[in-house]
């Protein structure tokens, strides 16, 4: 099983792999730029070359890059849509430079579901047409807070059906978001239901990554708060997710709360314990 964490790029890309090794990662996720702003610095060629060599040497794969949080391609506001589109095209370009196979973007927010999804389709089609590389764009399910779309997988299906380049679009399943959106992942039955729903709507092959996060808030809360593996409201359900035969061959990235490295290692130990005690 591929296990990893979101790794900080503070201090440059040459710091990423040593941090990943410390956390015993076989796969990683990172930002390629400031996640909370529109401005970004150009990538440093020497820094990126060092990163790519280290990733290959340590056999850390796949590499996932997460887009900034401000992006909202579903927005009816022209300025926000254009900024989001520019960020997406730049993200696809930077991924290729970094050598990262996948780029993750949150589903957008809109008061009108149909119009919001159509704007996302238009933006994604334009970006993929402009940046013709092999980077796969992954759309992440949401908790459904506010006007968020994508908290039901029907939204994901409708989006994918209308994107032109089917080979370059896929999904991220965030367990905390799904639980907060109303999918009860505390039981084997609940997990079977979400697996069946995804398979029927778009096929599990479209899920390229699982964000393995427990939830600090209740099922259906629509409140996005991640928590430590097995210690949140999903609890023992995390064990069923990790060991599900149709899920456990996928990469798992943890985005659990972190004050120090010890927090990540605690969550890693918890996952491995669940793997030892299979369902």
Q: Point out the residues that are catalytic.
A: 36, 66, 69, 106, 140, 174, 177, 211, 224, 226, 255
- Distance, in Å, from the CA atom of 200 to the CA atom of 84, rounded to the nearest integer, reads 31
Cis upstream peptide for 62 (omega within 30°): yes
Buried b / exposed e across 83-122, counting CB within 10 Å, b at 16+?
bbbebbbbbbbbbeebebbbbbbbbbbbeebeebbbbbbe
The set of residues, in sequence order, having a beta carbon less than 8 Å from that of 46 and lying 6+ positions away, is none
The set of residues, in sequence order, having a beta carbon less than 8 Å from that of 80 and lying 6+ positions away, is 72
Strands 28-30 vs 252-254: parallel, antiparallel or unpaired: unpaired
| Rg for the chain, CA atoms, rounded | 18
């Amino acid at each position: 099983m591929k296990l990893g964490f979101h790794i900080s790029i503070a201090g440059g890309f040459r710091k990423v792999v040593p941090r990943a090794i410390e956390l015993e990662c076989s796969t990683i996720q990172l930002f390629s730029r400031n996640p909370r702003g529109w401005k970004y610095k150009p990538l440093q060629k020497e820094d990126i070359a060092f990163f790519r060599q280290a990733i290959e040497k340590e056999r850390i794969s796949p590499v996932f890059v997460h887009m900034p949080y401000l992006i909202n391609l579903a927005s009816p506001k022209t300025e926000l849509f254009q900024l989001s589109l520019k960020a997406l095209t730049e993200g696809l370009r930077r991924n290729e430079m970094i050598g990262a196979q996948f780029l993750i973007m949150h589903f957008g927010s809109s008061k009108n579901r149909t119009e919001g999804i159509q704007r996302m389709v238009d933006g994604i089609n334009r970006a993929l047409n402009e940046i013709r590389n092999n980077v796969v764009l992954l759309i992440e399910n949401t908790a459904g807070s506010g006007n968020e779309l994508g908290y039901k997988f029907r939204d994901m299906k409708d989006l994918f059906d209308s994107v032109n380049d089917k080979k370059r679009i896929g999904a991220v399943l965030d367990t905390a978001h799904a639980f907060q959106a109303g999918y009860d992942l505390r039981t084997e039955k609940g997990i079977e239901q979400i697996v069946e729903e995804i398979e029927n709507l778009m096929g599990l092959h479209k899920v390229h990554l699982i964000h393995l996060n427990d939830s600090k808030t209740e099922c259906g809360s629509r409140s996005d708060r991640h928590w430590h593996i097995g210690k949140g409201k999903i609890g023992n359900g995390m064990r069923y997710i990790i060991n599900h035969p149709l899920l456990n061959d996928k990469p798992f990235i943890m985005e659990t709360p972190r004050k120090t490295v010890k927090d990540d290692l605690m969550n890693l130990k918890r996952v491995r314990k669940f793997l030892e005690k299979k369902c």
